[in-house]
Amino acid sequence: MADGQNAPEAERVEAVWDQNRTRGDEASSSGTSGWRAGISGDWATFAAIAAIALIVGIVNALSGAQDAAWRGDSADIGRRLFWEMTSIVVILALVPILMLSVRRMRRTTSIAARIGIAAVALLGFSALHVAGMVGLRKFLLWLAGGAYEFHFSPAFVLYEFRKDAVTALLIGATLWLFESRRELRKAAQEPQSNPAASLEQPSSNLIWLRDGTSRIRVAPRDILWVASAGNYIEYSLANGTQHLIRGTLAATESELARFAIVRVHRTRLANLDRVSGVDFKPSGDFELTFDNGRTLGGSRRYRPAVAALGSRAAPV
C-alpha cells in the first residue's frame, strides 16, 4: 500500500528513556503495552477491588448462614466462607484480564468493537472463573483429606454465568471510572496539552512523538494523515507504519498546521503536500489521493481547506 519513500530510518526512530514519566504511565500510553499497564502501577485499584470483594464475600457467607439457621438447617459458617473465599481468590486473579479489556475498549471508538471486546472478556472471565474455582476447591479439600464433588450441568453453567456477568460488569465499571480519573489527573499534571502528550520540536524540520518508552522522530513530510482514535491520535506514515499517541485532534491540528497538515474531516487531518489528486463528489464530499497511491476521504464541511487542490486531478 505504500511506496516506502520516506526519510532514512535513523531520522524516524530513536529510543530513549523518559525521565518525566513513570514506567507505568509510559506503558499505558503505548498501544502494545496494555498487559503490563494492566498489572503495574495499579495496586491501589486492585487493593480497592480486593477489599470490596472480601467484604461482599464475608457478608454473603454470614447472610447465607443466617438464612439457613432461620430455615432450621445447619449454618456451617466455615464451609460457606470457604466457598466464597475460593471464588473471590479466582476472581481477583482474573482482574488483570478485565483491566486489559477495559483499556482496549477505551482505545477504540467503534461501538461494535467495544461490544465484541466486552463479550469475549465476559465469556473468558466466566469460563476461567468456574474452572479455577472448581480446581482450587478440589485441590484444597484434597490437601485437607476431603473431596469436592462437582456435577457439571447446563443449569450450573447458566447459574454461574449470571453471577459472573454481574461481577464482571461491576468490576469493569469500577475500572473504567478509575481509568477516567487517572487520565484526568494525568492531564491536569501535564503543563502541555499537545497531541502527543509530549510533542517536542528540537528542530523546525522534525517533530517528536512519544510511543511508550521511546521517542519517535518523524519528518512532517512522512506523515500522510492523522486520525482521532478515542483518547488517542493515530499517525499514519507514508511507509505504512502507524503510531498511537495520547492526545486530542484539536491540539494536533494547531501543532501541525505549519506543515500544511490540515483538517479534512471531523476526525482526520491530511498532509496536503503529499496529495497528488483530489476527487470532488457530487455530495460535496471529496477523496484525496496521496503520492504513494493511498486515499483518504474528506467531508464537505472542510472542502474549502482543499479547494486550492482542485487543479490536481485524482489519478485514474
- Of the given ranges (60-64, 79-83, 85-89, 252-256), which has the lowest mean pLDDT? 60-64
What letter would DSSP give residue 258? Answer: G
Q: What is the dihedral of CA 163, 168, 169, 173, to 10 degrees?
A: 150
Distances (CA, A) of 45 to 38, 52, 118, 254: 10, 11, 20, 36
When pLDDT is averaged across residues 194-208 and rounded to a whole number, the result is: 54
Using DSSP's 3-state secondary structure scheme, residue 169 falls into helix
Query: Which pLDDT belongs to residue 120?
Result: 94
Mean per-residue pLDDT of the chain: 78
Q: What span, in angstroms and rounded, lies between the C-alpha atoms of 254 and 271? A: 13
pTM of the model: 0.47
Rounded Cα distance between 233 and 237, Å, is 13
Least confident interval from 12-21, 234-243, 251-260 = 12-21
pLDDT digits (tens, 9 = 90+) for 108-165: 878 898 999 999 999 999 999 999 999 998 999 899 888 888 778 888 888 889 988 9
- Lookup: cell for 226: 492523522
Determine the Cα–Cα distance for residues 228 and 233; give it in Å rounded to an integer: 5
Reported as a single tens digit per residue, the pLDDT across 82-109 is 888 988 999 899 989 998 999 899 888 7
Beta-carbon neighbour count of residue 203 at 10 Å?
Answer: 8
What grid cell was written down for 141? 479439600
CA distance 6 to 12: 9
CA-nearest of 180, 200, 178 to 20 is 200
Q: End-to-end alpha-carbon separation of the chain, Å?
A: 16
pLDDT of residue 50: 83
- List the single range of 84-93, 194-203, 274-283, 296-305 with lowest mean pLDDT: 194-203
Count of beta carbons in the 10 Å neighbourhood of residue 260: 14
Q: Tell me how crowded residue 250 is: count the other CB atoms within 10 A of its CB.
A: 12
pLDDT tops 50 at residue 15? no
**To which H or E segment does residue 271 belong?**
strand 268-271
Q: Each residue of 24-51: b (16+ CB within 10 Å) or e?
A: bbbbbbbbebbebbbeebbeebbeebbe
Q: E strand or H helix at 252, and its extent?
A: helix 249-256
pLDDT of residue 270 exceeding 90, the answer is yes
Query: What's the pLDDT score for residue 290?
Result: 92
**Proportion of the chain above pLDDT 90, given as a percent:** 24
